[in-house]
């Protein structure tokens, strides 16, 4: 039975076709490429779709319209699922993408650790060795920081590169944003006892060199969590 798994983020839509525990296809698109996405999905075709959506109801409706007649299930965080216990007093207030990533991380971090999503927003979540989500942090992602500076100051960041210290404005802006995010991650990790960390998302590779040795990139963590949810009973 082929299932379409969808990670609909603020900027991109990642997806995977899965059958019998194996990935048959993986892809991603920006929100403005729905026509191209429709042509790809119609060639699959899945029996059902299971997704995480943090981009709003309008985007969700647009995605469902790409596969008329296909049953869609959009997950929400719950009190517990797949061995992970949600530490939020109101469990559904936790983003579905963070919830799915925590569920995938449970298999990869047997001793607990930190899960970092480096996208439009940067989230840092803490999972203990018993699968308890202890809480986390949300801050602007790299592109969001740069866009904010562009909109609220006279700075117009160009193609900067990391430098320490930076000797031109473009490098200074990019380097400052990287140091702000990596510094926040390092501080959280240090306060938590420097556990193993997983990082994923569009800016993961850019941030990785500025983080500690116990951080590794893990691709498609939200999709892997959706697979766990779809293949195991609550």
Active site residues: 97
User: Please, which residues bridge with residue 136 across strands?
Assistant: 125
Cα separation, 91 vs 87, in Å, equals 7
Spatial contact of 10 and 31, defined as CB atoms under 8 Å apart: no
Spatial contact of 218 and 199, defined as CB atoms under 8 Å apart: yes
Cα separation, 147 vs 153, in Å, equals 10
User: Please, which residues bridge with residue 215 across strands?
Assistant: 197
Cβ neighbours of residue 102 closer than 8 Å, sequence gap 6 or more:
84, 115, 125, 127, 133, 225
Q: Please give the sequence-ordered ranges of beta strands (E in DSSP) within 69-180, or none if there are none.
A: 71-74, 80-81, 84-85, 113-118, 121-127, 133-140
Residue 90 has φ and ψ, to the nearest 5°, of: -115, 95
Cα separation, 33 vs 131, in Å, equals 37
3-class SS at 49? Answer: strand
């Amino acid at each position: 039975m082929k299932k379409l798994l969808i990670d609909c983020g603020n900027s991109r839509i990642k997806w995977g076709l899965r059958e019998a525990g194996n990935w048959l296809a993986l892809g991603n698109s920006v929100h403005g490429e729905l026509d191209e996405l429709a042509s790809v999905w119609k060639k699959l075709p899945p029996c059902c779709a299971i997704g995480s959506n943090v981009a709003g109801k309008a985007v969700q409706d647009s995605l469902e319209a790409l596969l008329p007649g296909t049953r869609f299930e959009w997950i929400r965080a719950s009190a517990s699922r797949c061995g992970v216990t949600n530490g939020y007093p109101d469990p559904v207030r936790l983003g579905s993408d963070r919830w799915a990533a925590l569920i995938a991380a449970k298999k990869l971090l047997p001793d607990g650790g930190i899960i970092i999503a480096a996208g439009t927003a940067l989230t840092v979540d803490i999972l203990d060795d018993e699968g308890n989500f202890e809480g986390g942090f949300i801050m602007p992602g790299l592109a969001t920081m740069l866009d904010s500076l562009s909109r609220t100051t006279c700075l117009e960041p160009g193609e900067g590169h990391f430098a320490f210290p930076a000797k031109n404005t473009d490098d200074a802006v990019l380097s400052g944003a990287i140091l702000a995010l990596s510094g926040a991650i390092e501080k959280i990790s240090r306060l938590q006892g420097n556990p193993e960390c997983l990082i994923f998302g569009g800016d993961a590779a850019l941030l990785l060199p500025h983080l500690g040795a116990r951080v590794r990139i893990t691709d498609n963590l939200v999709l892997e969590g959706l697979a766990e949810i779809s293949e195991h009973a609550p």
